[in-house]
């Protein structure tokens, strides 16, 4: 596939895309100028990147097929149900598995794994594995040793 072509097109619309990034042609990115992706990251087919607010994706991140990152919501306390545009931050080496959902204002710590179909509406600690709806701690990952 022409990975660099897709990255170049997104850059034309204001996205900040690192080197060796693979964004599948069927991934939907709503607001390119709100997107930042680090080196060696990948966004799979049918992933929905609803980035009304800033979405920062670190390096060596995998966002699997049909994952949904939702940076928008509505203020249900406001009678007008005002649209909110919230950030999402994904640190380096995170894996968001197939069909997982990440809600607004969430920070995913370095090396975190979101299991398939996990629903994450709160921050996830570094090097943890979460799953379920709502997501709960399933285990820990070994952080790489620094030499």
Question: In which region does residue 97 sit, left (phi positive, over 0), alpha (psi from -120 to 50) or beta (all else)?
Answer: beta
Burial (CB count within 10 angstroms: exposed 0-12, middle 13-18, buried 19+), residue 87: middle
- Residues that are catalytic: 74
Q: Which residue has the tokens 């306390």?
A: 77
What are the φ and ψ backbone dihedral angles of 31, each rounded to 5 degrees?
-130, 90
H helix runs in the chain, sequence order:
3-12
Cis peptide upstream of residue 134 (ω within 30 degrees of 0)? yes
For the CA atoms of 124, 60, 114, 46, what is the dihedral angle to 10 degrees? Answer: 130
């Amino acid at each position: 596939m022409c990975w660099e072509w897709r990255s170049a097109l997104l850059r034309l619309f204001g996205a900040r895309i690192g080197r060796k990034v693979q964004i599948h042609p069927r991934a939907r990115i709503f607001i390119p100028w709100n997107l930042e992706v680090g080196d060696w990251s990948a966004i799979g087919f049918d992933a929905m990147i609803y980035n009304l607010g800033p979405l920062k994706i670190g390096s060596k991140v995998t966002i699997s097929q049909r994952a949904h990152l939702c940076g928008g919501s509505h203020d249900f306390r406001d009678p007008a149900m005002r649209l909110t545009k919230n950030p999402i931050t994904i640190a380096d080496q995170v894996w968001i598995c197939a069909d997982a959902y990440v809600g607004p204002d969430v920070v995913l710590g370095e090396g975190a794994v979101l299991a398939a179909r996990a629903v994450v509406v709160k921050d996830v600690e570094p090097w943890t594995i979460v799953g379920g709806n709502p997501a709960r701690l399933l285990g820990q990952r070994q952080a790489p040793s620094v030499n």
